[in-house]
Amino acid sequence: MGVAVGQTKVDAPRSYGVISAGPLYDWSRVQRSIRVDALEPDFVSDGIDRGPTPTVSLLDGAGNVIVKQRVYPNMTLKSGSLTIYPVTFGLSTTLATVTTAGVETGRATLLVDFSEEATSGTTPVYHLSLTDKAGNLRYAISATVPLDRRGDLFVQAVPAQPTARVVVSSPDGKPVLIDTIALGEKIALPDAGGSLRLDGVGYYARLQVVDDWSIPLLYAVLFVALAGLTLVVVARQQIVLVTVVEGPENVRLVARVRLWRNSSSSRSEIEAELARALCADEMGSTT
């Protein structure tokens, strides 16, 4: 799930790029949303750079915050059966469609991934579809953010002077307009009578959301398995049954040894002990 800073997405299939849900998973019972409140590209805690760190809020169906925290490796957000892990981060561009009269008619956030191979350092995650009133596709709009450079490498952060390179394509995929605009600037859409305005460039966090009630159960099973394995290693079960059988001519000592681990040294130890006991008995000891 890619969530731009300030954006809230419902925990529903449509919010996810990659989804893997079991056949019994009931989405209709999920009533929560996920919001990214902030993203610090270089968050330092306890003297350790935690990397790009989003602050994530989990909201219930009524929009109340259930839990809010910074999320970074080894500090995942956990709430009940839910775990949120930060996978990566990128940039986001907020574009608004504006009529010739200057009235804003729509607004959308496009996500942009960092890429060392791309000429500007970023690639679009997806396209925005612009439709007419009848619902017919008019344009596909994508955006990238040209990054600042440090030496040969791109600086993976919001540029000092943020701009967006907007590509407007016709329904058949041919680019009809390519332009780079700065914050607040507009580009006129061909034959549409309106324009696109760049309203913001920020960060987005790609989150891995796992809802698995079986994790505590699996941990419990794991614990029992390890405890069982420990018992097997530590315990040394030995059963020794010794019976004195008195016959008409002599007295016999019958020993039955059961070694759970069938350890040869245990056997020899027990045989030695029995021999010692018999020897002591012969010598008149009461031991």
Which residues contact other proteins (rule: CB under 8 A)? 46, 48-51, 72-74, 76, 83, 85, 87, 208, 219, 222, 226, 229-230, 232-233, 261-266, 268
How many whole angstroms separate alpha carbon 201 and alpha carbon 123?
14
CA triple 247-253-259, angle to 5 deg: 140
Based on CB atoms, which residue is closest to other proteins, 73 or 171?
A: 73
Closest separation in Å from C-beta 287 to other proteins: 25
CA-to-CA distance for 70 and 262, rounded, in angstroms? 55
C-beta of 139 vs 203, nearer to other proteins: 203
Nearest to 83 by CA among 65, 49, 56: 56
Nearer to other proteins, 63 or 73 (CB): 73
Q: How far is the CB of 50 from other proteins (least distance, A)?
A: 4
Tell me whether residue 50 or residue 197 sits nearer to other proteins (CB atom). 50
Reported residue count of the chain is 287
**Shortest CB 208 distance to other proteins, Å:** 5
One-character DSSP codes across 185-206: -EEEPTTTSEEEEEEEEEEEEE
Q: Which of 16/85 has CB closer to other proteins? A: 85
CB of 122 to other proteins, least distance (A): 22
Q: How far apart are CA 267 and CA 261, in angstroms?
A: 10
Distance linking the first and last C-alpha atoms of the chain? 76
Smallest distance, other proteins to C-beta of residue 264, A: 4
Q: Compare residues 137 and 224 and give the one whose CB is closer to other proteins.
A: 224
CA–CA dist 207, 196 (Å, integer): 29
DSSP assignment string, 81-93: TEEEEEEEEEEEE
CB of 267 to other proteins, least distance (A): 8
207 neighbors 56 (Cβ within 8 angstroms): yes
